[in-house]
Amino acid sequence: MDELPIGRRVAYWRGRRKMSQQVFADRLGKSKSWVDKVERGVRRLDKFSVIYEIADTLRVDVQLLLGKDPERRSDALNCIDQTEVQEIRAALERYDAMSAYFDAAPYPPPLPDMRKAVTHAWLTYQYGRYGMLTRSLPKLLRDAQAADAGFGGDDNREAAHLLGQVYQIASSVLRKLGEFDLAWLAADRAMAVAQRADDPLLAGIATTRVGNALVAMGRPFPALEVNVAIANRLAPGGGNDVTPDRLSVYGMLLLQGAMAASRIGDTATVDDLLGGADEAASLLGGDQNHYWTSFGPTNVELHRAAAAVELGDGGRAVEVHQRIGPEFNALLPERRAHHLLDIARGYAQVGDVVNAGEMLLQGDRLAPSEIRCRPIAHEVMSDILRRTRGTPPASIAELAEHMGVGI
């Protein structure tokens, strides 16, 4: 893409960010006609200040707009740069298993090493260290794909299971960082690999990643359908066992179905699915982390609040938040910071920008990347700054600066 004119590069990244010309123009404070002329090359971009503003709006490295290699970033809080995106994309585009069908399989890493690496990646994600995770993902994907292609027999099933988990990790972090197409691709791969791993529960939790990616891409109806369909297949009881693993996966399918329904505005379905998840959590008996779900009674309440926000009922979300007990503090940092971001949105919906800002600050102390790296958090911060009378508090101004959100 380096050989393209800068206007074409602007058009490309605007499309990747799912912005219309009008929305892009509004965020820049320009006219739609101005954007159209820039993208067609009729109007030159000869001011660096404007180019930097465009890059910030599109959330890309300015070097990409200039047709140069982006500068690599090394600090631990870095979210993801376009070099890392391309490396993850290249890793997802590998087809080691198909190559091994025709030729000798690549030398696979030892399975004990892979198990440790996958566990470390899950913990890195659940502690909200997204920059560290995205930098390690390309190698982890390549290693897991090589293991899946290189082992046979029972080892092949375990290797497939590990690869399915790596795809899920990749999907989750890519979705949070705004790379929705890649998130969907990784989740779809996770579902396919789970079938080869012969683990219905792994396929079930992979389904939630597919649903999340579909919702992020603006397709909540198929997300709702797939989550509910697989939940019905995996429901405890009948011919299925009633184990903590199954309860956790089943409960998360219902929760993600509820989130999809909230995007549609289907309050009755939201309540029904949350009720089913609440029953599963009661049977489980407490917050646990089977299949890396963090499922349990507290997580159900967190999703109840999140669904209220998606339905536009910020007041209800705040009420749910205020009744959550001390069990919340035992959850992993990503879950807590994610919830605090949801509640920041809830407070903003009811016009309480002071408490909205406080929620962002609390979330930032728990898992900075959850607040500083997610596009939705940037939107909340922009809203807070716009609606704050006078100069914002120093703590908010400092966080906004770290996030790259202009005051």
Share of the chain above pLDDT 90, in %: 64
pLDDT at 73 over 60: no
86 within a domain of the structure (yes/no): yes
Final residue belonging to a domain, choices 142, 166, 197: 197
Q: What mean pLDDT, rounded, does the chain reach?
A: 89
Distance CA 27, CA 5 (A): 22
pLDDT tens digits for range 231-256: 999 999 888 999 999 999 999 999 99
Asked if the structure places residue 174 within a domain, the reply is yes
Residue 312 lies in a domain: no
Interval 400-404 mean pLDDT: 88
Residue 78 is predicted with a pLDDT of 55
Whether residue 120 is found in the same domain as residue 91: yes
Position 407 confidence tier, pLDDT thresholds 50, 70, 90: low
User: Does residue 301 sit within a domain?
Assistant: no
Would you state the pLDDT for residue 355? 97
- On whether both 24 and 79 belong to a single domain, the answer is no
For residue 349, is pLDDT > 90? yes
Give the model's pLDDT for residue 248. Answer: 97
- Residue 74's pLDDT is 38
pLDDT at 141: 93
State residue 3's pLDDT score: 56
Q: Per-residue confidence at 220, pLDDT binned at 50, 70, 90? A: very high
Q: Is 128 a domain residue?
A: yes
Give the pLDDT band (50/70/90) at residue 45: confident
Residue 151 binned pLDDT confidence (cut-offs 50, 70, 90): confident
Given pLDDT bands bounded at 50, 70 and 90, which one contains residue 209? very high
pLDDT tens sequence across 296-326 = 999 999 999 999 999 999 999 999 999 999 9
pLDDT recorded at residue 98: 47
Among 155, 171, 197, identify where a domain stops: 197
Q: Are residues 88 and 193 in the same domain?
A: yes
Q: What is the CATH number of the domain that holds 56?
A: 1.10.260.40
Q: Are residues 20 and 123 in the same domain?
A: no
Task: Look at residue 103 in the predicted model and tell me its pLDDT.
Answer: 45
82-112 per-position pLDDT tens digit:
677 788 888 887 765 544 443 444 578 899 9
Domain carrying residue 193: 75-197
Per-residue pLDDT, averaged over 374-378, amounts to 92
- pLDDT tens profile 126-150: 999 998 898 889 999 999 998 998 8
Sign of the Cα torsion 42, 48, 49, 51 reads: positive
As a whole number, mean pLDDT of residues 158-177 equals: 95
Number of domains within the chain:
2
**Cβ-contact 145, 94 below 8 angstroms:** yes
- Residue 101 forms part of a structural domain: yes
Q: Identify the pLDDT of residue 102.
A: 39
pLDDT at 106: 56
Q: Is residue 350 pLDDT above 80, yes or no?
A: yes
Q: Are residues 103 and 38 in the same domain?
A: no
Q: How confident is the model at residue 6 (pLDDT cuts 50, 70, 90)?
A: confident
In a domain, 328, yes or no: no
Q: Is the pTM of this model over 0.75?
A: yes
Q: What phi and psi values does residue 325 have, to the nearest 5 degrees?
A: -85, -170
Residue 34 predicted with pLDDT over 90? yes
How would residue 69 be classed by pLDDT, with cut points 50, 70 and 90?
low
pLDDT for position 344: 98
Q: Which of 197, 230, 264 is the last residue of a domain?
A: 197
Average pLDDT over residues 343-356: 97
Banded pLDDT at 359 (limits 50, 70, 90): very high
- pLDDT (0 to 100) of residue 269: 98
CA atoms of 366 and 345, how far apart (whole Å): 17
